[in-house]
Amino acid sequence: MREIRIAAAQFEARDADKEYNLGRIDALAREAAGQGAELVSFHECSIPGYSFIENLSRVEIEALAEAVPDGPSVERLAAVASAHGVAVAAGLVELDGDNLYNTYVVVSKDGMVAKHRKLHAFVSDHLANGNEFTVFEWAGCKIGILICYDNNLVENPRITAMLGAEIVLMPHVTGCLPSPMPGRGKVAPEVWRERERDPARCRQEFDGPKGREWLLRWLPARAYENGFYAVYTNPIGVESDTIKPGGSLVLDPYGEIIAECRRLGDEVVVVTLTPERLEKAPGRFYIRARRTELYDKLVEPNPDLGPEGRPEIWWKKHRD
């Protein structure tokens, strides 16, 4: 890995409004480039919007979906990348044959560099699971991608690290959701609407167990235990029928936060990632210390989730 400037962005996306969302991506990419970023990462399904897909029919989702890389959104991202001299990573719904995927793409001025299909598709039965891990070389770095729920299963970041990832892009749409965990739950819409008059109340909700406090229970461990940089991105504000807490951030291979969006609104942060932190990261030693002869249990089928391994069974049971 070489030294590289990476940006993590957050913005309040609009459901099914690709033009608006691409406009915010353009503006924040320009801002990141002005701070020397070489790549800027946005959240899951940042182009069409995400959670509202849960209530759409297959026909309605297909109307939002695009070919990748030959669709208009990848073409638009390439134009953004060319205009600002920065690679752009963003999410959309991909249509490939009869299958729909939650897909994340990295696009430079020359076109698509890489794409990842979410391994654990969520919100809609019409979205298919991806079946491949994604690690690619770009600009002298090895970069992996895991989308939202992909990161909750510890095996996925571990395998991504074992495939050589030094930096992992982790686009999410999460936080402030119903949960059986103490203190979790939704944020009332009026808290967001009144954020300028009462920012302390909004910040307390976002930083508590509904948002940042929950995230920091587990996300730093993914970077630390595997010895890579983690670039976490998340929307802020109204997202379908929920309020999202933003909090996009970058973690080093020790699990330390080295850059974080703290604004109650759209924001981008840029940070320099250096190879020195990787060289002595404990997670890299942990991977080499594995005793694989003990791990047969890890690959046994999971009867609770069925052959597709979809998480909605647990989610729908516990969210209300």
- Domain limits of the chain? 4-318
* pLDDT by residue, tens only, the chain of 320 residues: 999 999 999 999 999 999 999 999 999 999 999 999 999 999 999 999 999 999 999 999 999 999 999 999 999 999 999 999 999 999 999 999 999 999 999 999 999 999 999 999 989 999 999 999 999 999 999 999 999 999 999 999 999 999 999 999 999 999 999 988 899 999 999 999 999 999 999 999 999 999 999 999 999 999 999 999 999 999 999 999 999 999 999 999 999 999 999 999 999 999 999 999 999 999 999 999 999 999 999 988 876 665 456 666 555 555 54
What pLDDT is stored for residue 302 in this prediction? 73
| Fold of domain 4-318 | Nitrilase/N-carbamoyl-D-aminoacid amidohydrolase (3.60.110)
pTM of the model: 0.96
What pLDDT is stored for residue 320 in this prediction? 44
What pLDDT is stored for residue 163 in this prediction? 98
What pLDDT is stored for residue 301 in this prediction? 80
Residues 168 and 144: beta-carbon distance below 8 Å: yes
How far from 153 is each of 48, 191, 249, 277, 298, CA to CA, in Å? 26, 32, 20, 25, 12
Distance CA 33, CA 83 (A): 10
